[in-house]
Amino acid sequence: MIIHMAEGATIDQVERVINRITQDYGLRCETIVSSTTVIGVKGVASIVDEGRILELPGVDRVIRITEKYKDASRSFHHEDTIVWIDGRVPVGGPHLTFFGGPCAIESEQQALESARIAKEAGVDVLRAFVDKSRTSPYDYRGLEIKKGLEIAAAMKAETGLPTVSELIDLRHLDLFLEYGIDVIQIGARSAQYSPLLEELSKIDKPVILKHGFGNDMNEWLCAAAYIMSGIDRERRSVSEGNRNVILCYRGIKSFETETRFAADIGMIPLVRMKSHLPLIADPSHSSGDRRLVERVTYGFVAAGAHGIEFDIHNNPAEALCDGKQAVNHEARRIIENARRIHALLAGVGIESGSTVSVAAK
C-alpha cells in the first residue's frame, strides 16, 4: 500500500498517519520525501482499512500495490536505487559497473594472476568465488572454504578492489563476513531458496541476486522482496530488511543447445520498468562461449543494464571451472567499448532520470 500525502502536508500530519499504521495495524512504514511525501506500508497491508486512512488530515490518496514483489516494485519506490559497495563503488542509476574475475578460485597463483588481469582491464568489483554449486558432484567445486576465503582476502589486498563471492551454504555466512567479502552473491540454483534469502535480509551487505534457470520476472522480483522485506517465515515480525539488492540477469534454459542459456535482451528494459533495483547482466553464463561474450556484453549495455559481471581467467584453456566462457586480456577492450556505448546512449538522453541513493557498508 502507498499513501500519498497532499501537497503542503505537515510533519505532524505525516506522523499521525504513520502512527495509525504502526500502532493500529502493527505494520511498518517507509517515508519517501520529494515534491510531496509518500508513505509506503510494509507487511500484510490488506488488513488496513482505507477509509480510516483517507479520513486523516493531509492524506491525498491511497493506492494498493498489486505486485507481489512490493519492496522491489517501482510502484512502491519510483526512483532508481543506487547501491554502494564498500562505500565507494556505485551500482545503479547513471553508473555502469563491472564485476570480473575467475569463475572459481583454484589456487593462490591462479587467483592472484586473474585478479591482476581483471584490475588492469578496469573492473570495479572483483569476483572471488570460493564455493561452486555444480551440476555433477564430480565437477570442480572449489577449495576448502577457509582456504578459499584466505585467497579471496589476498586478491582484495593485492588489487585494492572490493570482492564479491557466491554463498551457497548458510553455515558459511559468518565466515564470508569475517574474511571481508564485500558483496554476497546468490546463484541461479539458490535464487528461490527462501531460508537463505530471509537470512540475508538481516545483514547490511549488498546482495547480488541472480536470475534462476527457469524463473519468470515475477518469481525473480519476489525473491528480491524476500531479502528486502524483512518479513520472517511465520510473518510474526517485520525487521528493516536489506535494501542493498542488485539483480543479475543470466538468461533461462531453452531448447537452444548452441548457447548455454537463452538471454532475452528485452528483459533488461522490462525489469527496469517494473523495478527500481540496480540490474546487471552476465554475458559469460548466458552465452557459455568466450567468442560470444563481447557482443552479448554490448547488447546488455545497450539494453540498459547498470553493469556487467563476467568471467576473467589468467589461463582459460586450463581452467577447472567454466574455462570455455572465460575471457582473458580482451576484457580490457570489452570494458572500454562498453563504457563508450553507455556514454553514447547517455548523451542522447536514454539514461536520463533522477536517482535515490542507498548507502551500503
Q: How far is CA 305 from CA 56, 80, 91, 155, 345, in A?
A: 42, 13, 10, 27, 12
- Is residue 149 within 8 Å of residue 179, measured between CB atoms? yes
Indicate whether 166 pLDDT > 90: yes
Tell me, which fold does domain 2-64 have in CATH? Answer: Alpha-Beta Plaits (3.30.70)
pLDDT category of residue 353 using cuts at 50, 70 and 90: very low
Indicate whether 284 pLDDT > 90: yes
- Is residue 289 within 8 Å of residue 297, measured between CB atoms? no
Domain limits of the chain? 2-64, 80-358
- Is residue 184 within 8 Å of residue 206, measured between CB atoms? yes
pLDDT of residue 239: 65
pTM for the model:
0.84
Superfamily (CATH H level) for 80-358: Aldolase class I (3.20.20.70)
- Is residue 126 within 8 Å of residue 101, measured between CB atoms? yes
Q: How far apart are CA 277 and CA 246, in angstroms?
A: 6
Q: How far is CA 310 from CA 190, 289, 290, 327, in A?
A: 19, 11, 10, 8
pLDDT tens by residue, 112-152: 999 999 999 999 999 999 988 777 888 888 789 999 999 99
Compare 131 and 237 and report the one with higher pLDDT.
131
pLDDT of residue 237: 53
pLDDT tens by residue, 286-333: 998 999 999 999 999 999 999 999 999 999 999 998 889 999 999 999
Q: What is the mean pLDDT of the chain?
A: 90
- The answer for residues whose C-beta is within 8 angstroms of residue 41's C-beta and 6 or more apart is 1, 2, 3, 21, 27, 28, 29, 48
